[in-house]
Structure 1
Amino acid sequence: MKLILFGATGHIGRGILDEALARGHDVTAIVRDASRLTLQHDRLHVAVGSVEQTAIWLAYAKHADAVIASLSARRDGDQEVIPAAAQTLLDTLDGTHLKRLLWVGGAGSLEVAPGVKVIDDPHFPAAWKPEAQAQARALDVFRASKADVDWTYISPAALIEDGERSGSYRVGGEQLLVDGKGVSRITVADYAIALLDQLDNKDVFKKRITVAY
């Protein structure tokens, strides 16, 4: 497949990039600072731009099969760019041939009990709340959209970290997935596997899913 990837210089985005190339996909990475992506590969093209600069990435979209967005606002300090980017992608892709959109979501809006979300836990780190809230607003944008876009919002486990590439994971819906010890975790490598496995999965179109061990 030919993929457009936003956020390839980020932690999770780089994991997705590595997995996509390993699978034989062609990737156009749209980055704001090309110096932060030093990887060279014959199936990787790097273009300088952002979600908001639609003319730049639409030039590549005409040949693409899917868009993947792994975005963070930590560098800018303005979390509103997250739901705004979701809206821009939906609005821009609507009416084009390119219908498939995979979004790296957050875990904070997952439920741990009926009506109780991960972010509601009093022990949820305060430093993480702005980004978790922004990702929750992005999910609201997706759910409210009438755009003709086959999006999937993919929440990781509560803890996503470096580690082995096992190829093992479970897929859930709105509830936080935990293992037998009550821990919710997944490695970046296995999250990337899970995300790319959903490219052709029509069962997850226009849905939020979560992946964890």
Structure 2
Amino acid sequence: MAVQAQFCYENMSLPLPILPSLEIGFSLQEFPSQQNAQSLVSMMGYQPLDAQLEIQRQELDCFLQLRNERLRYALREQRNEQLGNLLKTLESKAMYLLTRKEEDLVRATNKRMELEACLREVEMECESWQRLAQANESTAMDLSKRLEQAKDSSAEDEESAEDEESCNKDQQQERDDKMACKHCSSRSSCVLFLPCRHLCSCKSCEPLLVSCPFCKSVKEGSIKVFLV
């Protein structure tokens, strides 16, 4: 074709247009055979210039259309490859994130189970402390009642002790009155008169008495008595 166009332009004394190289992206099957080319050259030799330009324009359009289709195919394949790589990268990242999330979920589940176990232990301990507090409260109430009873019994004991002490004082006073000297009534009796054997005189009054101050019998003798 280029030879035929060059021949035509040389015959018509016109400048030869720049055509694209036939080696770019074409195989030998895409162009006519040598016989067809010779017949085409012979035909173009007798065709007018407009017809030859139209043929060349059609050939350029076919060439450009084929190049565009191959470029679109190459771009589509490249885009598909890039999309595939991007999908693989996103899938790997998604799997990594999913694995991390599953591990976080497992850790969170274990932590929740530990917290639930701790909560149960705290509840059990709280219940035991409540039972202990109730037991201590009942013990405190019992001790309070016992303390009140002890106070009451202590008051009663104090009253009985006071009564007993008063009684003892009366008895002691009575004994003191009985043991007082019958002559002076100020000192205790410590001399026993004979023969009546009455203990009725103190040591100071005994030499002054000639008879028993209690029964008035004549004193024949006396004996000093030591009370233990």
TM-score by length of 2: 0.17
Larger helix proportion of the pair: 2
TM-score (structure 1 length as normaliser): 0.17
Question: Which structure has the larger Rg over C-alpha atoms?
Answer: 2
